[in-house]
Amino acid sequence: MEQEAEIDRLPIDLLAQIFLMITSFTDLAQASGVCRKWKQGVKQALARRQTLSFAGFKMDDDSTARLVHHAYSLKELDISRSRWGCQITDNGLCQISLANCVSSLTSISLWGITGITDKGVVKLITRANSLQHLNVGGTFITDESLSAIADSCPLLKSIVLWSCRQVTETGLFVLVSKCRKLESINVWGTRVPLDCFIGLLTIRPALQIKPQGLPLN
C-alpha cells in the first residue's frame, strides 16, 4: 500500500498559508489542479491575500477578474501593463468592479494599460470608496474619470496622471476641490498649462505637484 505523502497530511489552513507565499499565478494554477484539497488550499490562500500584483504577467480580463473575486481580503491591486503585454480592457475592469473586495481597496494601479477607457475606470472607481492611492498614468482617461474619482474617493491621498494627455485643467480643479485629503499629484507629461498648477495650489497650498522643480512660485 502506497504511503501518503507528508504534505498531504497537512490541514487545509496550513496548506493555504504555504500557498500564500507563492507569487507565481502559473504555479498557483498548477497547484490548484493537483487535487481537491490543494484546490481548496489555493482558494483559501487567495482569500487571505491583501496584495495582488499582476506586473510581469500576461493577463487577460477573465483570469484577472477571477483571481480578484477570490481575494476577499484584498487591499492593494496592481494590474499595470507589463513588459510581456497586457490584455486588460474595459470589460475586465467592469468584471473586477463587481468583486466584494473593491470597496475595501486602498491602492489601485492601472499604469500603462492602453486598452482601457473612462467606461471601465469609472465603473471600477465608483465602488472603490476606500481608495487612498491611484495610478492611472499612461492611460487615455479624460476628465470624466477625474470627476468619478472626485465623487467616489473622498480618502484619496495620491494620484498619478503621468502622461494622461486628455486630462484638462477643468478635471484637475474638480479633483483637487473635492478630494480634500489629496496630498500628491503627478502631472508629468500632461498638456495642462502651468497657470493651472498655480491655481491648484491656491485651493490646496500643501499639495505636492510632481515632478518636483516646476516653476510654480
One digit per residue, the tens of pLDDT, for the chain of length 217 reads 455 566 667 667 767 677 777 776 667 777 777 788 777 877 887 788 898 888 767 788 998 898 899 899 999 999 887 545 568 999 999 999 999 999 999 999 999 998 999 999 999 999 999 999 999 999 999 999 999 999 999 999 999 999 999 999 999 999 999 999 999 999 999 999 989 999 999 999 999 999 865 655 5
Contact 145, 174 (CB under 8 A): no
Of the candidates 67, 131, 66, the one whose C-alpha atom is nearest the C-alpha of residue 103 is 131
Of the candidates 130, 43, 56, 124, the one whose C-alpha atom is nearest the C-alpha of residue 90 is 124
Edge-to-edge, what's the strand order for the sheet holding 208-210? 51-53, 76-78, 107-109, 133-135, 158-160, 184-186, 208-210
Clarify whether residues 116 and 126 are in a common domain.
Answer: yes
Clarify whether residues 104 and 16 are in a common domain.
Answer: no
89 within some domain: yes
pTM for this model (two decimals) = 0.86
4 within some domain: no
Clarify whether residues 83 and 180 are in a common domain.
Answer: yes
Provide the number of structural domains found in the chain: 2
Look at residue 93 in the predicted model and tell me its pLDDT: 97
Q: What does R_g of the chain's alpha carbons equal in angstroms?
A: 20
Clarify whether residues 66 and 78 are in a common domain.
Answer: yes
| Residue partners of 38: CB distance under 8 A and separation at least 6 | 15, 31, 32
Clarify whether residues 33 and 77 are in a common domain.
Answer: no
Provide the grid cell at 56: 510581469
Cα distance between residue 71 and residue 67, in whole Å: 7
63 within some domain: yes
Clarify whether residues 136 and 71 are in a common domain.
Answer: yes
Clarify whether residues 41 and 141 are in a common domain.
Answer: no
Clarify whether residues 39 and 74 are in a common domain.
Answer: no
216 within some domain: no
Q: How would you label 200-212 residue by residue, b for 16+ Cβ within 10 Å and e otherwise?
A: beeebeeeebeee
Cα distance between residue 42 and residue 19, in whole Å: 6
Contact 57, 25 (CB under 8 A): yes
Cα angle: 80, vertex 85, 88; to 5 degrees: 60
For residue 173, give its domain range: 49-210
| Angle, helix 169-178 to helix 143-152, in steps of 10 degrees | 0
Provide the grid cell at 64: 484577472
Strand runs (DSSP E) across the chain, as ranges?
51-53, 76-78, 107-109, 133-135, 158-160, 184-186, 208-210
Clarify whether residues 120 and 37 are in a common domain.
Answer: no
**CATH number of the domain where residue 116 is located:** 3.80.10.10
Clarify whether residues 98 and 18 are in a common domain.
Answer: no
